[in-house]
Structure 1
Amino acid sequence: MNIVDRFLNYTRINTTTNREKGAAGIMPSSPGQMELAQLLAAELESLGMEDIVLRDTAILTATLPANTDKAIPTVSFFAHLDTSAEQTNDTNAQVITYLGGDISLNPALDIVLKEAEFPEISAYKHQDIIVTDGTSLLGADDKAAIAAIMHALQVLKMNPEIEHGPVKVAFVPDEEQGLRGAKAFDVDSFGADFGYTLDCCGIGEFVHENWNAGNAVITFTGQSAHPMSAKGKLKNSLLMAHKFIAMLPPGEAPEYTEGREGYYWVKELAGNSAKTVLKMDIRDFSKQGYRNRMHFLQQLADSCSALWGEEAIDIELSDRYENVANSLQGEASFPIDIAKEAYARNNIAMKAIPMRGGYDGAVLSQKGLPCPNIFTGAHNFHSIYEYLPVNSLQAASDVVVDVIRITAEKLTK
């Protein structure tokens, strides 16, 4: 099966993550994720993979045994099964030859991918590009990754002269709502030495740093009173919350920051005069910067407590995931070096980018499996204007093959 047909087959299975079921602790949160995992399990078996295990959570793992007696570390590759909840419709993908200018995705509905709005598409003139009909996501996030990994395994099966050590693959559910599949993943029993996710970006991009991420839940407790006799009695928790927000550092919010600039994100505020709950995301690329931000929130809450009374404010701070760079320092940086060489062998200029978000590899790295992130080739994730150049998809798979090849050439236990 060629890589395009493989990808298109995967897009025909609706794997939209279900936020309501996810919030209720159900995994996978949608039946299509299990359906796709079952299809992949059958394909893995046909490719000669061993130790194929499909769990009731839809976490799927398998092993390609080494074809050499050399003691080579076990490399692994990860992709996620679900697609984002921004659109829930079935995907109707189409392959076009892009000649430049705008792309009419759906003439009947007048849905157009405009070059003026997405100028990066001009780099793909005279290439085949996979797009939607404008009524859904494409699902290249992350089915392009699945197709690239599966195609790489097919290449290895068809070319037994390519020497390789043990290769493990894993497909996990519900990445799109809090990296739930990665958080449930058992790294120890998986048995890999290092890994890569494929879950980002245009051709050549590479991620080996992302946020240190945390959450804050701040509860403001006031004192209700009838307005006719409220003077000196009413303590309005909504106003407490607004005063707290006003004391956050100005300009350190997502809408004002870029690159490696951290932020406080006021994400949800709900309540009444008696009780109000504020939910926030805290992000920073450096460990110390992240600690400083969490410490600042605790100090601010303590100061407000001294001002309004001990019962007026309660703060809960928790960590969500770490920067993958924390796991790729010094001698542990070799997965980056292998990827650099794999890109170079395919004449791809590596563009390392700091990811202003989280991905499964951050959680896996924190669990002890160093896991930077390779491109899939797709653009405009979470949008009806998502598109995937075919050459970029093939390049992602070629990089996977060369990572496996270079691991066998360069590393021994």
Structure 2
Amino acid sequence: MNIVDRFLQYTRINTTTSREKGAAGIMPSSDGQMELARLIKSELEALGLVDIELRDTAILTATLPSNLPADQKVKTVSFFAHLDTSAEQTNDTKAKIVGYEGGDICLNEAQGITLKLAEFPELANYIGDDILVTDGNSLLGADDKAAIAAIMDAVRHLVANPHILHGDVKVAFVPDEEQGLRGAKAFDVEAFGADFGYTLDCCGIGEFVHENWNAGDVVVTFTGQSAHPMSAKGKLKNSLLMAHKFISMLPEGEAPQYTEGTEGYYWVKEMSGNSVKTVLKMDVRDFTKDGYQDRMNFLKNLAESCCALWGEGSVSITLADRYENVANSLEGDAGFPIDIAKLAYARNDIEMKAIPMRGGYDGAVLSQKGLPCPNIFTGAHNFHSIYEYLPVKSLKAASAVVVEVIKITAERG
């Protein structure tokens, strides 16, 4: 089966993550994710992989055994993809292949849905290529089925070409990345037994991620005092106004809508309550360890100062770390996965474009657990959108990079 047919086969299984079931602690949150995991498991078995294990959480792992001499030991490399697709669209995917000759792409003539070059100018980079698109009524699911197809195609290539020397190669497919990296958080890194790894998720051809946010969650609770308006003077303490005052004291311009690149921020995400009690929920993001800690300390100090101003028990704050920057796990000698990827890109005549990810991904959690895990491109564009598309040459390039990473790992010992 060629890589395009493999990808299309995966898109026919609806694996939309369910936020409701996820919130209830159910994993996988949708039946389609387990259905896809079972299909991949059968393909891994047909390819002759060993130590195949599919858990009831839909976490699937397997090993392609080394074909090196028994006395030659090399590091074990691993590759990760997630099974679920985002909940922005829940319809079944009806993917199609378009031979792109430039200009706009009509996704659905009857409904007037068009992928417009003016809105997505990077399309011009793919003139003359075949492009996989939706019918305008769903996501394409390249996030992250392109990754699954690329990994499986790379494994197929190695099995079909036993003269290519490689050490043990481990693969893993995890559920519910699209709602809090739940599969990665449940993943047993120690039992997996890999030395380092790569996720394949997001990004056009050539892009590479080895840094992302240090991320934290903050909950601030404001407790006021009720009073009837007729006798409220000097007695009423309105927790809603306290929350608004607190927000007004956040650094101006340090919010998502004002920042880009590696600029950190405070994100006021949710506020609920009444005059007696108000709960404010915030995200904190920063690329550096010190910057992240400074932001968390600032909020803690601000809450304590407000509590001193408004009275004992008026303000309480809870700070929690969500995930770390992958770069924290790739410092110094531990940065060899970056070096291997650079060489793999170069051998495939692909210019590496390292980008800071303004978000989290499975590799952030896996790295924090002790498995250094930067991210390789899948080649797809416009994730979480009906305008998602995947150039075929980019998909094939992702598979070729995986193969080359495996070869280089064996060469370097």
TM-score (norm 1): 0.99
Paired position in structure 2 for 1:222 = 224
Paired position in structure 2 for 1:34 = 34
- The CA deviation at 1:121 is 0.8
- The CA deviation at 1:310 is 2.0
Separation of aligned partners in 2, 1:31 and 1:272: 39
Separation of aligned partners in 1, 2:230 and 2:21: 44
Paired position in structure 2 for 1:365 = 367
Give 1:153-172 correspondences, 5 Å limit: 153-172=155-174
Separation of aligned partners in 1, 2:183 and 2:311: 41
Separation of aligned partners in 1, 2:289 and 2:262: 12
Task: Work out which of the residue numbers 355, 377, 384 in structure 2 matches 1:375.
Answer: 377
Task: Work out which of the residue numbers 401, 405, 408 in structure 1 matches 2:410.
Answer: 408
Deviations 1:96-120 (A, max 9, x none): 0011111110011101111000001
Paired position in structure 2 for 1:231 = 233
- The CA deviation at 1:222 is 1.0
Q: Which amino acid aligns with 1:272?
A: N
Deviations 1:139-182 (A, max 9, x none): 10000000000000000011000000000000000001110100
1:397 is aligned to 2:399: yes
Separation of aligned partners in 2, 1:367 and 1:161: 34
Separation of aligned partners in 2, 1:4 and 1:153: 15
* Number of residue equivalences: 411
User: What SS does the aligned partner of 1:356 have?
Assistant: coil
Paired position in structure 1 for 2:198 = 196
Separation of aligned partners in 2, 1:363 and 1:118: 31
Q: Which amino acid aligns with 1:79?
A: A
Separation of aligned partners in 1, 2:33 and 2:292: 34
1:341 is aligned to 2:340: no
Segments of 4+ moved more than 4 angstroms? none
Separation of aligned partners in 2, 1:287 and 1:200: 24
Runs of 5+ consecutive residues of structure 2 not aligned to the other structure? none
Paired position in structure 1 for 2:12 = 12
User: What SS does the aligned partner of 2:183 have?
Assistant: helix
Deviations 1:370-398 (A, max 9, x none): 00000000000111100000000000000
Separation of aligned partners in 2, 1:227 and 1:257: 42
- The CA deviation at 1:341 is 0.5
- The CA deviation at 1:230 is 1.7
Deviations 1:76-110 (A, max 9, x none): 00000001111111111010001111111001110
- The CA deviation at 1:231 is 1.6
Separation of aligned partners in 1, 2:63 and 2:309: 59
Separation of aligned partners in 2, 1:271 and 1:108: 46
Runs of 5+ consecutive residues of structure 1 not aligned to the other structure? none
Separation of aligned partners in 2, 1:161 and 1:346: 19
- The CA deviation at 1:228 is 2.1
Separation of aligned partners in 2, 1:128 and 1:94: 10
1:56 is aligned to 2:56: yes
User: What SS does the aligned partner of 1:384 have?
Assistant: coil
Task: Work out which of the residue numbers 289, 311, 314 in structure 2 matches 1:312.
Answer: 314
Separation of aligned partners in 1, 2:220 and 2:27: 28
Separation of aligned partners in 2, 1:216 and 1:360: 21
User: What SS does the aligned partner of 1:268 have?
Assistant: strand
Paired position in structure 2 for 1:350 = 352
Q: Which amino acid aligns with 1:393?
A: L
